[in-house]
Amino acid sequence: MEDRDARALIVIDQRESAEFDRMLSASGAAVERKQLQVGDFLCSGRLAVERKTRQDFEQSIVDGRLFSQLFNLSSSYPRVAIVVEGESAEGRISKEALLGAYAAIVSDFGASIFFTRSMEKTAELVYALAKHEQLAKKTPMRVFAKRKTLTASANQRAIVEMLPMVGPKLAKALLEHFKNVETLFTASEAELRKVEGMGEKRARAMRSIIENSYDQEEDKAQLI
């Protein structure tokens, strides 16, 4: 076994499968578990990896969660990698939507995207990234994310991107139309539909999130 100082350290989010500890340790990595603010694996102080199963990846495109996660990741780490794990699922979303998401990942957020067939292949990729960062480039590890200082306008866009089915482009269009977050959040469904790209489905989903009462039990169940 390699000396600890000669091994790459990979920090794994506590919510990830314990199988990754076994696979990465067997590869020669030093493994630690932390409650990460963003990302699923840290390969160095500048590189975070977000792992998604194919089903979760496609669902996160539909509900807009992918783009809010990418915003948080790219605001915290200079290098971000998205790993989509599993075989392609047929018919969930259109080819155009998938290609648009791939383009946004690379073009809007400057992240890389990789596709793996299984957890084992994901572990291999994560280990290769960590070795390159820490052993080849000598980039130190930093566990806690260090968010960039954002302008007021960037913070406004980040808030809007958290809404369902809203990506960076639509968030900008909404803010340009309504001028500020308060006016946007008080807009009716009919007023929302006037913004190009919204449509009835997105407008209804947005109003539902804004209007629905907070359910503590529902929130608690989501975290389990």
List, for residues 118-134, the tens digit of each pLDDT value. Answer: 999 999 999 999 999 99
pTM over 0.85: no
Which of 117, 123, 116 lies closest to 20, judged by CA?
123
pLDDT digits (tens, 9 = 90+) for 154-169: 778 878 887 877 877 8
Which of 143, 126, 111 lies closest to 37, judged by CA?
143
Residue 41's pLDDT is 97
Q: Report d(CA 102, CA 96) in Å as an integer.
A: 10
Please name each of the domains of the chain with its CATH number: 4-136 (3.40.50.10130), 152-212 (1.10.150.20)
Residue 224's pLDDT is 38
Instruction: Please list the ranges in the chain whose pLDDT falls under 50.
Output: 1-4, 222-224
Residue 136's pLDDT is 86
Residue 87's pLDDT is 81
